[in-house]
Amino acid sequence: MTIEQIKRKARHRFRDNGGNSFSLTIFVASILFFVFAFFLSIKIIFDQVGWGKYFTMKELRSDYDVMLFWAVMLLILLPLLTAEWWTVSRLYIDIAKGSDFVETKKYLNAHAWSYSKKAVQVSLAVGIRKIIMLLPAVGGGFGVYYIINKGGEQLSSPKLLLLMLCLGFTGVWTGLFIRYIISLSMMPFIMCLNPRAKISKAIELSKRLMDGNHMRYLMFVLSFAKFVPLFILIQPIFIVYPYYKVCLVTFAEDILGDYWQDKMSASIRRWRRFSL
């Protein structure tokens, strides 16, 4: 399907399940608001007891206590947020299918520990791969920074040549990194459809399915850029975001083709039958 055909199909799905889409978006917004309120409350309390340094960027770069504080906070929050993100991603698949996600939510709540553990494992596996892929571009960017800021007021011919090489290398590798990110874009859908799938096989399948579809995916995502200015008004987010998610699921369904096999639905039916 073309991008317009995908959007047309997604609009029908979104219109038929607008209530569920809106409620799920409210749930996502409430999580973000809770995280914001949590850190704001901690900041206010710390300011009152004289621990304001824990929320200053200068201290974060130099004070090991502040670094440890934020490391612990991230270790606590990131797994929780990761599990919720995967849950929401799964529920949007149900919305795009026209299914009632209540049963899916009950199933995920009943298997919260195993599902959350798998979500964290998948996120770690993908995150580590992305970081490793990004490191050469970071190294090239650091080389550009060092030459410009530490190379003196005047650049000699060798330094200028080295600067051009670093710029070229950083640009090329950044492009490769973006291509790699797009190659993994189907992986979350594969895992949401079948949480028992092996992570390595899901990654390889995503790469194989996205081969030749990188530009198509990029154009699909960029087609939503026209809605970004509306986010200033806040309210359009609650319409644009769920519409985008339904479009993304529809796009993934088109890419996966015969590989779109919702094995979690079968697990939910078995669980419901034996839990009665």
What's the confidence (pLDDT) of residue 37?
A: 92
What's the confidence (pLDDT) of residue 47?
A: 85
Query: Which residue is associated with the tokens 């639905």?
Result: 265
C-alpha dihedral, 189 to 192 to 198 to 200, nearest 10° = 30
**What does the pLDDT average to over 34-49?**
88
Burial 251-272 (b: 16+ CB within 10 A, else e): bbbbbbeebeebebbeebeeee
Hey, what amino acid is at 4? E
What's the confidence (pLDDT) of residue 172?
A: 93
**What does the pLDDT average to over 153-181?**
85
pLDDT tens-digit series, residues 95-108: 888 777 788 888 88
Count how many Cα atoms sit within 13 Å of the Cα of residue 155 in the half-sphere of its side chain.
14
**What does the pLDDT average to over 57-73?**
81
What's the confidence (pLDDT) of residue 275?
A: 67
Burial 123-135 (b: 16+ CB within 10 A, else e): beebeeeeeebbe
Q: What is the greatest pairwise CA distance in the chain?
A: 78
Residue 154 pLDDT greater than 70, yes or no: no
Query: Which residue is associated with the tokens 């492009």?
Result: 175
Highest mean pLDDT (candidates 3-12, 17-26, 166-175) = 166-175
Nearest to 254 by CA among 19, 89, 8: 8
Total Cβ atoms within 10 A of residue 216: 15
pLDDT tens-digit series, residues 203-261: 999 999 999 899 999 999 998 888 888 777 777 778 888 888 889 999 999 999 888 88
What's the confidence (pLDDT) of residue 130?
A: 92
C-alpha separations of 8 from 16, 62, 98, 177 in Å = 13, 52, 15, 31
**What does the pLDDT average to over 53-77?**
82
What's the confidence (pLDDT) of residue 56?
A: 81
Nearest to 205 by CA among 219, 187, 229: 187
Among left, alpha and beta (phi > 0; psi -120 to 50; other), residue 262 is beta
Look up the pTM and report it.
Answer: 0.83
Lowest mean pLDDT among 4-13, 95-104, 110-119, 175-184: 95-104
Token duo for residue 247: 């479009």
Q: What letter does residue 235 receive in the DSSP assignment? A: T
What's the confidence (pLDDT) of residue 151?
A: 60
User: d(Cα 239, Cα 244) in Å, to the nearest integer?
Assistant: 9
Residues 6+ apart with CB under 8 A from 27: 88
Token duo for residue 43: 């900041």
pLDDT tens-digit series, residues 178-211: 999 999 999 989 998 888 889 899 999 999 999 9
